Structure 1
Amino acid sequence: MAISDVDLASLLCSKICHDLLSPVGAINNGLELLEGETDPVMRDRCMDLLADSARASADKLKYFRLAFGAAGGFGEEVDPAEARQLIETLIDDSGKITLGWALQNEALPKKAIKILLNLTLIAKEALVRGGSLDVGAEKGDLGIEVVVRAEGAKIALDDAIRSALDGTIASADLSARTAAAWMTRELAVENGGDLRISSPSATELLLGAIVTA
């Protein structure tokens, strides 16, 4: 299925706006509460709310900037430690997910890091009741292999997102909700690789991709 760069950019912008509505809305609510609050204790709580929401907004923007955008320019390599820091910040928001990390310190091409961040985001959102998230990548004979595994009490992966990942999505189902998954698959395929997803399971999700080195 073909989609223009402009359409993809529009859908990804919609996703970013959707995901930022909650923390930015919390900032607005905190400011409204602070404006009419005179109790020192409550004002301190409002300030805490503002600080937490501002930090969450900044963290998400940093994640999206590398996962979807052109952070650092084009064609450069990225230190996996940067990706790990972004992922740790992402899962710290919930407090219900533990991270397993299996990457060496060697820098990886940005295209591989983008795939890793997007698959991690998809897997994290599927862990609706928390659980474990294992992330790995290594350079092999065929290229760079990326693997993300989510395990928890309940895995909830939208059928349309699954279709975007396995390449069977219909044009009508491509939306802000599925754009990141579709982009991730295209990024792997356009770089001489492929993307695979495990069969539906209530407790486990395995996502893998390979791109040429």
Structure 2
Amino acid sequence: MNDIEFSALLCSRLCHDLISPVGAIANGLEILGDEEDEMMRAEVMTLLGQSAEVTSSRLKFYRLSFGAAGGFGEKVPIREAESAVNGLYNSGKINLTWHSDVGLVNKDALKVMLNLILLAGESLIRGGDLLVEIRENNPGVEMTVTVRGDKIILQDSTRQALLGELGDEQIEAKSAPAFLAASVAARLGTKIGFTQHNEQSFSFQTSYQDKE
């Protein structure tokens, strides 16, 4: 798969995740144009605000997880990542717990971690707990993402893409974030680990050596 083909898949994934809240904003504005009842208009305005917040949160997250994270140097403050992840999950059924003793994270390593968080969160079909841990282990940094929930589904294609077991021709928009995480991890000289604790819990692990 060449870079253009993969970029198209990633763009498809991005559009898929944004079309719902953006569509809700468009529908809400259309209703406002015709609605004269003040109570109904107030309800529509509330929904518009919620949809705008979801859209903004997802864009902030995808800027770091998919994009070049312009405006930052080679390292990104971990608080930026935590804020983006909190924004992604603050209105759903996922309980986020974040532990970090690291202040700055390599931009590429952060990209790997955020895509792991995205994929882990998607596996929590009915919601559950999402634990993120970033620990210093000089001269490196270790990252672990763990989920626990009543119903967890991690697609085989996602797991295989993360572990480098899926051929380029088998990558789809759904598994594009996994392929991105694996590719960036390889560029860092590291790999992504997967541990199945039981039917209701698993973890992703990765690490990188800080050269500075």
TM-score (norm 2): 0.93
- Other-structure match for 2:37: 39
- Other-structure match for 2:207: 210
Give the gaps of 5 or more residues in structure 2. none
- Other-structure match for 1:178: 175
Shift of the alpha carbon at 1:170? 3.0
Give the gaps of 5 or more residues in structure 1. none
Shift of the alpha carbon at 1:158? 1.2
Q: 1:6 aligned to 2:8?
A: no
Q: 1:92 aligned to 2:104?
A: no
- Of residues 116, 119, 126, the one that matches 1:119 is 116
Q: CA RMSD in A?
A: 1.6
Matched letter for residue 59 of structure 1: S
Distance in 1 (CA, whole Å) between partners of 2:91 and 2:20 is 13
Q: Quick check: 1:193–1:210 contact (8 Å CA) kept in 2?
A: yes
Shift of the alpha carbon at 1:175? 1.0
Q: How does 1:25-174 map to 2 (within 5 A)?
A: 25-72=23-70, 76-94=74-92, 96-141=93-138, 143-174=140-171
Distance in 2 (CA, whole Å) between partners of 1:57 and 1:10 is 20
Distance in 2 (CA, whole Å) between partners of 1:163 and 1:71 is 27
Aligned length, in residue pairs: 210
Matched letter for residue 39 of structure 2: V
Matched letter for residue 167 of structure 2: A
Report SS of the residue matched to 2:64.
Answer: helix
Shift of the alpha carbon at 1:105? 4.4
Distance in 2 (CA, whole Å) between partners of 1:144 and 1:10 is 32
Q: Extract structure 1 runs of 4+ deviating beyond 4 A.
A: none
Report SS of the residue matched to 2:147.
Answer: strand
Q: Percent identity of the aligned residues?
A: 39
